[in-house]
Structure 1
Amino acid sequence: MKLVRAALGLLLLAPPLVQTVEPISLGLALAGVLTGYISYPRLYCFFTECCGQKRSLSREALQKDLDNKLFGQHLAKKVILNAVSGFISNPKPKKPLTLSLHGWTGTGKNFVSKIIAEHIYEGGLNSDYVHLFVATLHFPHASNITQYKDQLQQWIRGNVSACARSIFIFDEMDKMHAGLIDAIKPFLDYYDLVDGISYQKAIFIFLSNAGAERITDVALDFWRSGKQREEIKLRDVEQALSVSVFNNKNSGFWHSSLIDRNLIDYFVPFLPLEYKHLKMCIKVEMKSRGYEVDEDIVNRVAEEMTFFPKEERVFSDKGCKTVYTKLDYYYDEDD
């Protein structure tokens, strides 16, 4: 307990590293203090999560999770499965894995980042080694962009020093101030070391609505020509998507060196969801709550949703995002 109090004292006395972003977690701070005194790290790691603990990622388990929980996203499933499983199984990657997920709200971007985190760390998004940044929360003021850049670099450097297999998730990239994300460019490049630290085993995931219009155009063209959405290939979308995001002045990737230097490994398109996909989401939510699947309620919830384009009403404009609250309403109505 004395060691714990000492660690807490150090944390309280030290100035905050990042004012707009949560400080390095208590777990990491305690690990730094305690491991110097504990001769048996395995014993220590029995009581708390450790970066050094090997958790083998099962490609089969990841695929099963994606198949059972992510609907209407054949492109995203394939890219995520191959990219993540391949990267984790590579003992000496040349650079960090960098994924940029694009699409409308409710199509599964946040859900996929959650699945990835859970398959790498038992704690998932709550792990000490998974770090979430939300643009409007952590970087709200354009006037502070220089400060944010310094803080962001310190945060990433500190956490990768503590755990090479750190995961960084940046949400709302379409609302991030242009130029800010370029501060992390050295960490994503093909360097063995940056100031004595290797970032090659880290994972960076960007989430954005930017480029969603371009993705929808492709999906709508296929629908209007009578083709199945499953016929859409990554090559039909990825290049146009990267160009669209690069030239979008309302995107945090506007003229970004991360794109210009080809440091983003995959631009992953999330297609707009159709009526049948909403029904799949509703059924999964029912089962997760312990309810029997009631087709009448499934249809009633799905029909409450709004669709676009106005004339054809092909795609849900909110994806599965509000399905869960709608379901609450119908069950309350029946009670």
Structure 2
Amino acid sequence: MKPAHLYLLLHVLSTASVLVNAFDPITTTVVVGLGATLGRTIYNYLHESCDSKWIAFNATSLEADLESKLFGQHIASRIILKAVTGFMSNDNPKKPLVLSLHGWTGTGKNFVSQLIAENVYKEGMDSSFVHIFTSELHFPHSSQFDTYKTQLQQWIKGNVSNCGRSMFVFDEMDKMQPGLIDSIKPYLDYYDKLDGVSYRKAIFIFLSNAGGESIIQTALDFWRAGRDREEIELKDLETSLSLSVFNNKKSGLWHTSLIDKNLVDFFVPFLPLEYRHVVQCAMAEMKARGVQPDQDVADQVARDVVYFPKSDRVFSVKGCKTIESKLDYYT
């Protein structure tokens, strides 16, 4: 709790205490009740709770963020906006929203998760209702597979019991042990309730580099054919992407029942980024730092990035992932 907030709470409670000493026993009971009520009101005002004061989706803001902050991802932007808006506008969804984001490193998958959180939860990624799992941190040992399955189920159930509008982000799905994610399949299915808990208003987001090769190949094919990247549509990628992920033995989604039973609502492809997108990232980062965006500096940063294929230098190897550190060097 911030010092100012704590001071306000203590002031209210101390005021109630002074009033208690000033009145007769009958009035004292009323004042104590009033003080407790005010204390609870302030506590609820300052402490995040699972209600509309702290969880309120802003579709207009999400659309603006996707348009002004996410670069080179026309397909992903469109899918994310429609999927999240449709889901959050439905007071009685049949199942949780399940998004699987795929693409090469630095293309914006984590960033999109952040934008969704910021436009659903008042506290954004710092919300106590947003939960992030990273394979190498939370599930590092293959020998603990059964333990992880039990823990994962308990974590999901416990957090959704606390707030139905919870959001779960699974990073590094390509490094997760195959089969582990299947332990939460029942929570993603079309069930009204499981053991008295409804999971239908929760959001599950899987992030993975798996399938990145097929996305890159499609982007390269369009580039070599002289076609604009904005001509690439979801239908050009979706089937090959889902098959690539499903059949990737090194992926946490390998032969998963989540795909087999069609529980993933959208496979969202993130295209590799070109030079112009890296420039946009650099300009946006300068703006975020409160610095006047400098086109020359942005160009310097973009030129310093490694591109592939080597002969043509079309796509950034690391997307926009190193832009922040590179800006420190040039500014």
TM value normalised by structure 1: 0.86
Gaps of 5+ in 2: 1-35
Question: Which runs of structure 2 are paired with 1:110-189 in the superposition (5 Å)?
Answer: 110-189=110-189
Structure 2 counterpart of 1:262: 262
Asked whether the equivalents of residues 38 and 44 of structure 1 are also in contact (C-alpha less than 8 Å), the reply is no
Provide the secondary structure at the position in 2 that maps to 1:120: coil
In the alignment, which residue of structure 1 is the partner of 2:81?
81
Matched, 1:249 2:230: no
Q: What residue identity is the alignment partner of 2:284?
A: V
C-alpha spacing 1:95/1:303, structure 2 compared with 1 (3 Å): same
Q: Aligned partners of 1:246, 1:82: CA distance in 2, in Å?
A: 25
Structure 2 CA distance for aligned equivalents of residues 158 and 293 of structure 1? 45
Give the conservation status (yes or no) of the 8 Å contact 2:56–2:122.
Answer: no
* Cα-to-partner distance string for 1:84-129 (whole Å, 9 max, x where unaligned): 0110000100000000000011000000000101111111111110
Q: CA deviation at 1:53?
A: 2.8
Task: Provide, for residues 253-302 of structure 1, a one-character-per-residue CA deviation record: whole Å limited to 9, x for no partner.
Answer: 00000000000000000000000000000001111112222222111111
Letter in 2 for 1:314: V
CA distance 1:42–1:237, shift in 2 (3 Å): farther
Please show how residues 62-77 of structure 1 align to structure 2 within 5 Å: 62-77=62-77
2:58 and 2:120 in contact (8 A); partners too = no
Structure 1 moving runs of 4+ over 3 Å = 37-44
Partners of 2:227 and 2:37 in 1: CA distance:
62
Q: Distance in 2 between matches of 1:62 and 1:42?
A: 30
SS at match of 1:102: strand
Q: 1:287 to 1:94 in 2, by over 3 A?
A: same
Counterpart in 2 of 1:307? 307
Distance, in Å, in 2 between the alignment partners of 1:321 and 1:195 is: 42
2:316 is the alignment partner of 1:316: yes
TM-score scaled by length of structure 2? 0.87
Match of 2:18 in 1: none
Kindly report the root-mean-square deviation, in angstroms, between the aligned alpha carbons of the 2 structures. Answer: 1.4
Q: Give the number of equivalent residue pairs.
A: 295
Give the corresponding residue for 1:46: 45
| Deviation, structure 1 residue 39 | 9.9
Is residue 103 of structure 2 the alignment partner of residue 100 of structure 1? no
Q: Distance in 1 between matches of 2:295 and 2:126?
A: 35
Which residue is equivalent to 1:211?
A: 211
Distance, in Å, in 1 between the alignment partners of 2:293 and 2:71 is 17
The structure with the larger Rg is: 2
In structure 2, how many angstroms separate the alpha carbons of the residues matched to 1:277 and 1:218?
18
Q: Distance in 1 between matches of 2:221 and 2:289?
A: 37
For 1:279, the equivalent position in structure 2 comes to 279
CA distance in 1, matches of 2:273, 2:124: 26
Deviation at 1:313, TM superposition (A): 1.1
